[in-house]
Structure 1
Amino acid sequence: MNYRHGFHAGNHADVLKHLVLVALLDALKRKQAPFFVLDTHAGRGQYDLAGSHAQRTGEAADGVKRLRAANASGPPALAAYLAAIDACRGRGGDIYPGSPLLVARALREQDRLAACELQPEEAAALKDVLAGDPRCHVHQRDGYAAIKALLPPREGSTRFARGLVLVDPPYEAQTDEYPLITAALRDGLERFPQGIFALWYPIKQRAPLQPLMRKLGHLPMKSALAIELLVRPDDSPLRMNGSGMVVINPPWQFERAVEPALRPLAQAMGEAGASWRLTWLKQEKT
């Protein structure tokens, strides 16, 4: 595996993914009961936007930096996301947080994080970032296998009744990743049916995504919501035109929390033809 997220940190996909992640964490914290987070493809935890990797691609300049320059504000989900990344910037330099650092910042004393990263160098960096935090455990292992190994979540004799599983693979194999994803999510839902599962996916052209969406809609779950942001029309297979998050078993009225934040993202980071949409792949009957 040759993927290095440092080249893409802070891009439009990170903004969408992390806005949704922060909103999910905020929803979990509305109840006092402890929760568990499994981050299957965690990366190194934080990224220097002034470093050589980020500077080489400039993706953050068209992502989080454009969002900041636009002074977008208003929707609570967007304000919470910006506050979360601002809090992580206090670690020094032009730091952009990865998902495990955002999760660690949100955890309460009773909550736990298991962050999985297969690449030795990235896993070592992540251990340094989370060092000294007894609520966080870093595993150098395959993220898909971790779903089977670490669910249902427990610590000693205590089982967690609530939790979030973030699945954010690098898609180096592109569409060949889809069978791995659906198999892992099916296994995870069988082991932890009440858990929230959040899958990030890139969008180049929409047609190749349709088989994945159909299969996800048939998983054994109560509901699934797809949240998408396109920064340009999805008419080119050569670049990432947008991205999405499928949230399985989303919190009650989660779509109402997230949707108002999508317009400011499209306006700040989008080009001509930018758009967003929320689609229920499966909706719980009321």
Structure 2
Amino acid sequence: MFSYRHAFHAGNHADVLKHTVLIATLDHLLEKEAALTVVDTHAGAGLYRLDGDYAGTSGEAAEGILRLLAPKPAAAVTPPAQVATKKIAKSVDAALAPALQRYLDVVRAFNPNGGARVYPGSPFITQHLLREHDKLKLFELHPTDSRTLSANIAQLEAGRQIAVLHEDGFGSATKFLPPPSRRALVLMDPSYEIKSDYARVLDFTAEALKRFATGTYAIWYPIIPRPEAHDLPRRLKTMATKAGKSWLHATLTVKSSKLLTTDSGETKRPGLPASGMFLINPPYTLKALLQPALEQTKDLLAQDRHAAFSLDSGG
């Protein structure tokens, strides 16, 4: 149950998708003055060293965030529209869409000396953007990651703004819904290392919607050759539609999912080829913001001719 460690995958293409969507969603929700509560059901360790043993073993960041941060040809530079931010120093990359530029600026804020030695997970990205009167509830059941998360969060000296709970997020996160301000974003990002995670996402989302129908719910999932993975977004769409809620579904594919054949004749899986983000009650501005960002991300992170993206919405 506890074999999965996100440190091996930090900064990969799935993180690029997840955190680009997360930041764009938070930016919109934080435009209103009323307090926002963010609930992260599977928070992980919070911060990751890309030059450490875990990330170095997998090398996945090299095909994700590190590729995006690679120097661009000077002749290609065309300044994009600037996106206002209070907490992040701006930079200008080669003709990047605002949502993708914003994501890179957030990552750079954790690496003031350049490069990307440190990759911020969802807890630190969220805290970086929140205001003093907002709240962050972090759930992590993995014993090692929970201890690391608590130690990392303690360095922020954020006081009562952040709560770290060594609990099953699917089992107890709904206790914070609805929050006093009636404004919340719930992020669900389980490992899916066991098939029951897919069903638990659906059960948790259904219960959360009953408790707090106007909250924004964001679910990341892997797109892999498993029936549950392909069934999850369809069932979430049905759930949102029956509840009369709007939804948005974004996917990013960087390579083929077909089995690879080695020189010795053995077959092996190619690693995670694609992932998706499904949102219920998304910001109305999100689809237009993500369209050019995902198109660029697909081109920049493509590993073969099967690279693609999709973006659908309804409600």
Residue 164 (structure 1) aligns with: 185
Task: Give the counterpart of 1:144 among 170, 177, 188.
Answer: 170
Q: Is structure 2 residue 279 aligned with structure 1 residue 247?
A: yes
Task: Give the counterpart of 2:245 among 219, 222, 226.
Answer: 222
1:11-90 correspondence runs (5 A): 11-69=12-70, 71=72, 73-90=95-112
Q: Do the aligned residues in 2 keep the contact of 1:205 with 1:235 (CA within 8 Å)?
A: no
Deviations, residues 202-226 of structure 1 (Å, cap 9, x unaligned): 1123865342223212222511111
Q: State the secondary structure of the residue aligned to 2:172.
A: helix
Cα distance in 2 for partners of 1:195, 1:13 equals 24
Deviations, residues 54-89 of structure 1 (Å, cap 9, x unaligned): 111100011111111164542111111011111122
Q: Do the aligned residues in 2 keep the contact of 1:147 with 1:187 (CA within 8 Å)?
A: no
The residue type equivalent to 2:274 in the other structure is G
Check 1:246–1:9 CA distance in 2 against 1; reply closer, same or farther (3 A cut). same
Cα distance in 2 for partners of 1:247, 1:7 equals 26
Q: Do the aligned residues in 1 keep the contact of 2:248 with 2:279 (CA within 8 Å)?
A: yes
Q: Do the aligned residues in 2 keep the contact of 1:164 with 1:195 (CA within 8 Å)?
A: yes
Larger Rg: 2
Cα distance in 1 for partners of 2:251, 2:257 equals 11
Cα distance in 1 for partners of 2:42, 2:112 equals 24
Check 1:50–1:210 CA distance in 2 against 1; reply closer, same or farther (3 A cut). closer
Q: Do the aligned residues in 1 keep the contact of 2:7 with 2:48 (CA within 8 Å)?
A: yes
Q: Do the aligned residues in 2 keep the contact of 1:221 with 1:249 (CA within 8 Å)?
A: no
Mind listing any 5+ residue stretches in structure 1 that lack a counterpart? 154-158
Mind listing any 5+ residue stretches in structure 2 that lack a counterpart? 73-93, 260-267
Task: Give the stretch that moved more between structures: 184-193 or 235-244.
Answer: 235-244
Q: Is structure 2 residue 223 aligned with structure 1 residue 203?
A: yes
Q: State the secondary structure of the residue aligned to 1:225.
A: strand
Task: Give the stretch that moved more between structures: 223-232 or 82-91.
Answer: 82-91
TM-score of the two chains, using structure 1 as the length reference: 0.91
Measured after TM superposition, the shift of residue 137 of structure 1 is 1.1
Q: Between the two proteins, what is the percent identity of the paired residues?
A: 40
